[in-house]
Amino acid sequence: MSAGWASAADLAALVRRGARSAEAVLADALERIAREDPALHAFLRTCPERAEAAARRVDAQVAAGEDPGPLAGVPIAIKDNLCTAGVETTCASKLLAGFVPPYDAEVVRRVEAAGALVVGKTNLDEFSMGSSTEHSAWGPTKNPWDPTRAPGGSSGGSAAAVAGGLVPLALGSDTGGSIRQPAALCGCVGLKPTYGAVSRRGLVAFGSSLDQVGPFARSVRDLALVMDALWGLDPADMTSAQPAWPAEAFSAAAGGGSLEGATLGVVREYLELTLDPEVRAAVEAALERAQAQGARVREVSLAQTALAIPAYQVLANAEASTNLARYDGVHYGARAEGADSESLAARTRAAGFGPEVRRRILLGTFALSSGHYDAYYLKAQRARRVIRADFLAALAGVDALVGPTSPVAAFPLGEKVADPLAMYALDVFTVSTNLAGLPALSLPCGFTAAGLPVGLQLTGAPWSDPTLVGLAAAWERALGLDRKPRSP
């Protein structure tokens, strides 16, 4: 059984009962990455020594009659904006080249505590600023379904690693759709949890009121398994909370979810804004399948949808301007020569940041500047409150809001890089849930005529994450899609 195409649940079961060693699973995964990843560029680096040490620990626990955890021996990839002790963490930026954190992000610690094997760090848009994984200092990642197309972003490396069968699981971050959009374009499952449900400690900050860590998997069952390991209070993260969920809430929901009797709110504005008719047709066919399973479907409105992109761009860029001010060439990261502290910082940032990051810092600094703060930043905060109220009203009486995750399927590499506004518009269905702090999940629901996957987004009320996973699992069973792309 290949470690890449096997499910995480099946691999863990084999390792836990001693039918296969974690070391053998790891060797298979590393061999596949070495063979297949040059065509995808999903990984920036692997960390075999760390993974081998973890595999030996798992095998020793099994030999001693101990349970190494629900993710025992499962290879997992980590987006390169999550800190890993002893392993370079660059955020795909020249500015952080060579930076080796002294500690692990809390989510990395948790998946390893559950028995997972961290095999490497995945590519991303620099500092998570992008929607195609083309804004990386080390080159773009390619889509496993068609290597001439983008995998989405910013967590495109994690999505491609899972969709391409390199690993069963990966972690990403989602500030405005950076898990869900690449999950949709690469044909895997991705979840942005409720803000606060998963620790952000050790995540390199982009937009601190928007960022959230979440998983990628090829099935809802596997996604539930890793979510059971991730969620819960982290006392060292002031944005962390302890949801009132029982242990293994996500696995229980995935195993027992049903569409029968569920009420689904189809967002009218999302279907109207869908640019690709094949995407809309796939979503509508999936809704028909849900109705055949006993779900009730009714139309709802998110009247403030038009506010989402402008409000998000102001707030996210303002927070990015503040968060990225720490990269001054003094404390850590790259350092250019300068005659004084001002020229040192200016030259370091000019040489280290790519064009998209510089653009967003400038926009955010402008929005926060004297004379513009009220007109832009405060107005965007008011829009954010309106958007959240709009969502809560639409969610009243429904189990989830549904619509396309992306208005288009995977687009050709290079097509939108020169047009930032066109790139930003791709996040029209995803940024609003970050603004509102709501959970949202992307589920593969069909394919275009060219064989490109289409994603269906389910959005729930605050802290309804297990409910979303249960609905998605039932919908996945009803759709019965093949998740294996042709080899790149």
Quote the pLDDT of residue 173.
98
Q: Which residues are catalytic?
A: 79, 154, 178
pLDDT in tens, 147-178: 999 999 999 999 999 999 999 999 999 999 99
For the residues 351-368, what does the mean pLDDT come to?
93
Quote the pLDDT of residue 3.
65
pLDDT in tens, 187-229: 999 999 999 999 999 999 999 999 999 999 999 999 999 999 9
Cα separation of 307 and 348, whole Å?
Answer: 35
Token digits of residue 403: 């619509």
Cα separation of 74 and 69, whole Å?
Answer: 10
Q: If you search the block for the tokens 């798992």, which residue do you land on?
A: 58
Q: Which helix (H) or strand (E) holds 174?
A: strand 169-174
Distances (CA, A) of 375 to 314, 379, 382: 11, 6, 11
Residues with Cβ within 8 Å of residue 40, at least 6 apart in sequence: 141, 142, 144, 147, 160, 161, 164, 166, 488
Lowest mean pLDDT among 118-127, 285-294, 319-328, 336-345: 336-345
Nearest by Cα to 406 from 423, 386, 385: 423
For the residues 27-32, what does the mean pLDDT come to?
97
Q: Report H helices in 301-354.
A: 305-323, 341-352
Q: At 141, is the pLDDT very low, low, confident or very high (cuts 50, 70, 90)?
A: very high
For the residues 114-132, what does the mean pLDDT come to?
98
What are the start-end ranges of the E strands in 261-366?
Answer: 263-267, 296-300
Q: Which domains, and CATH codes, for the chain?
A: 8-301+393-479 (3.90.1300.10)
Cα separation of 123 and 139, whole Å?
Answer: 9
pLDDT in tens, 260-298: 999 999 999 999 999 899 999 999 999 999 999 999 999
Distances (CA, A) of 135 to 52, 125, 138, 203: 31, 5, 9, 19
Distances (CA, A) of 364 to 209, 377, 386: 14, 9, 21
Cα separation of 177 and 197, whole Å?
Answer: 17
Lowest mean pLDDT among 248-252, 397-401, 428-432, 482-486: 482-486
**pLDDT greater than 60 at residue 487:** no
Quote the pLDDT of residue 345.
79
